[in-house]
Structure 1
Amino acid sequence: MDIDLVLVPVDGSDQSEQAAEYATAIAARYDADLHLLFVLDERLRRDIDRGTVDPESVARDHRKFTGRVRDRSHERGHDVTLDTSTATAFSQTRLMQNPGSVVLDVAEAVDADFLVIPRADSSDDAVGRAATYVLEYASQPVLSV
């Protein structure tokens, strides 16, 4: 299998942190790069738009999460190039934009060869809702953890 880029959608949860660890190990094994996609659910996006959540605090949380993933990678001896992006899971103007389609759109945009997606304990979060969709429609191999 030829893997150059592993994509993992994350939301800061324990499940997504575990998925990032799997994705890091796969990237290290195949000498591939790793891309963390932070998926913002509609409630968080709405709160940011309303001004009730500071976007800088969200960005700070994303940087902390990325730092933990990077630190764990180095602790395990994995030298992986890590990149990040952020996407909103839903759109008020695009009817077909949902968490799963966002993950797959980003996977295509960054030319991901392999996806690692966390399964959530509930379907209340965007990443959790994306899992089934991604498993059904991804053109890349997918590992669900």
Structure 2
Amino acid sequence: MDVETVLVPVDGSPLSSRAVEVAVAVAERYDGGVHALYILDRDDESHTEEMMVATEMLTGDVPVRHSSAYGFTTSALTHHPGSVVLDASEDVGADFIVIPREQPSELLGKAAGYVLQYAKQPVLSV
């Protein structure tokens, strides 16, 4: 299996930190990199910088890139946090997705089920 980019959606929770650790292990195994996607809630955008620093601390020598996206938007009620993750996976050319599934935030929990059902690339839920 060829894995250049492992996408990991995060929300700043301890469980998303665990997902970053697993994404790093997958990336290290296949000499790839990690792309951390910060799933934001429009009501609370204050932790993005903290999440980036925490993610970089966990990735060590593995190359890491960052992006962020809103999980919901009032302008498109049909917009789903899972579609945000899958759109990002296409945009960054992700070959593999690691997503927190056990007791994530409400936003990331909604994304996880959707990603597991509709992703084209392999998905590991942690």
Name the aligned partner's letter for residue 109 of structure 2: G
Query: Are the aligned partners of 2:72 and 2:80 in contact in 1 as well (CA < 8 Å)?
Result: yes
Task: Work out which of the residue numbers 59, 80, 88 in structure 1 matches 2:70.
Answer: 88
Partner residue, 1:61:
50
Partner residue, 1:4:
4
Which is richer in helix?
1
Structure 1 residue 128 displacement after superposition: 1.4
Runs of 4+ in 1 over 3 A off after TM superposition: none
Task: Work out which of the residue numbers 89, 107, 112 in structure 2 matches 1:126.
Answer: 107
SS in 1 for 2:31: coil
Separation in structure 2 between the aligned mates of residue 14 and residue 118 of structure 1, nearest angstrom = 10
Identity across matched positions, percent = 50
In structure 1, the gaps of 5 or more residues are: 48-54
Structure 1 residue 62 displacement after superposition: 2.1
- Give the TM-score of the pair, scaled to structure 1: 0.80
Provide the aligned length of Structure 1 versus Structure 2.
Answer: 126
Separation in structure 2 between the aligned mates of residue 46 and residue 19 of structure 1, nearest angstrom = 24
Separation in structure 1 between the aligned mates of residue 32 and residue 48 of structure 2, nearest angstrom = 25
CA RMSD of aligned residues (A): 1.6
What aligned pairs does 1:1-145 form with structure 2 within 5 A after superposition? 1-41=1-41, 45-47=42-44, 57-70=46-59, 74=60, 79-121=61-103, 124-145=105-126
The higher radius of gyration belongs to 1
- Give the TM-score of the pair, scaled to structure 2: 0.91
1:54-109 Cα distance to aligned partner (Å, 9 max, x none):
x5x42332233223323xxx3xxxx3110111100011112331110100000011
